[in-house]
Structure 1
Amino acid sequence: MINFVIESGDVIAGLALFFSIYATFKTVQFNNRQQKLINTQEKLNQLLANREASGVELEKQAELGASILKLGNNKYRLKIWNKGKAPAQDVSIEFPEGNEIISEREVNEKFPLQFSDTHQAVELIAVIGMSTKSKHLIKLEWSDGRVQRVEKPIWVTV
């Protein structure tokens, strides 16, 4: 018969082995969580860098808009403005479906507009009658900080 004697040194060695395995397991768990945190931080930094880059790109862009304003009894204006953060250069206007509200003389006097600064507007006298359509398509085209000219169709309503 084999006689096993467990001494206090054996118990201490067993406990040390158990705690060593437990500590190794917890260290691996901690390192995995730490790596996930590092990956998340890298993704957040990349998103912030992309957001900053797009913000800088927006700083270089003009954004033109248009609407028809009623000023009083039968007095209308077609207002074109720059609501972007950069100036627009060489602004042109077209009426793809025909122009029945703005005189050609008025358009030719003011367009092409060489420069439209931020929050600057141009008003064109509009002639609106009872038989005038309520919706008109206007195409604005301009240059700004982007590589190509910007083209924007806008539907304005009376």
Structure 2
Amino acid sequence: MMMEFSDIISLIALLIAALSLGMNFWFNWRQIPLLRHSLKKSQAEALEEKKADIGAKVVKLGNSKYRVKIFNRGKAAARNVQIEFPDSNGLIPDQEIRDKFPMEVLEQHDSVDLIAHVHMRTPRKHAVLLKWADDHSDSNEKPSYLTL
């Protein structure tokens, strides 16, 4: 039995198709871990878009003037922002806290300043607990330490 020219061309085409199919399968198989990683990254980014990140720090304005700055560096707005002092509050007047908290909304990159009364006997470190709701969770908490 003798192969004709058209049989040889068909056999070469079949080999090229099989090689192409094998390379395609190998390429796709190697892409699976990259696709999984990309999916996880996309999901994490989508989750970060829903989170607020509330923080607090002491800012010195002059020789004896201090403010406590509460800020949102997250990507989402924080709602019902509250500040608590687990140990004791000897830094911010109670009236200042009652006037400004709970804050209804603290947008991304927004902040609020609280007057701080600092004197010789004021402790140098104050524990605060920040609480808020955002699109990710209705009960977020973050302990922080204000240091003079």
TM-score w.r.t. structure 1 length?
A: 0.76
* Selected match of 2:64 from 74, 79, 84: 74
Q: What count of residue pairs does the alignment treat as equivalent? A: 131
Alpha-carbon shift at residue 75 of structure 1 (Å): 0.3
* 1:36-55 equivalences in 2 (<5 Å): 37-55=27-45
1:133 is paired with a residue whose SS is coil
Larger CA deviation: 140-149 vs 63-72: 140-149
Letter of the 1:130 partner, please give it. Answer: M
Unpaired runs of at least 5, structure 1:
1-26
Q: With structure 2 as the length reference, what TM-score do the two structures score? A: 0.81
Q: Which amino acid aligns with 1:146?
A: H
Structure 1 runs, 4 residues or longer, greater than 4 Å off: 33-37
Question: 1-side partners of 2:104 and 2:137: how far apart?
Answer: 18
**TM-aligned CA deviation for residue 35 of structure 1:** 5.8
1:78 deviates by 0.4
Give the percent of matched residue pairs that are identical in Structure 1 and Structure 2: 38
Compare CA radii of gyration and give the structure with the larger one: 1
Instruction: Give 2:147's aligned amino acid.
Output: T
Shift of 1:40: 2.8
Extract unaligned runs of 5+ from structure 2: 1-17
Matches within 5 A, 1:68-107: 68-107=58-97
Superposed CA RMSD in Å reads: 2.0
Letter matched to residue 102 of structure 2: P
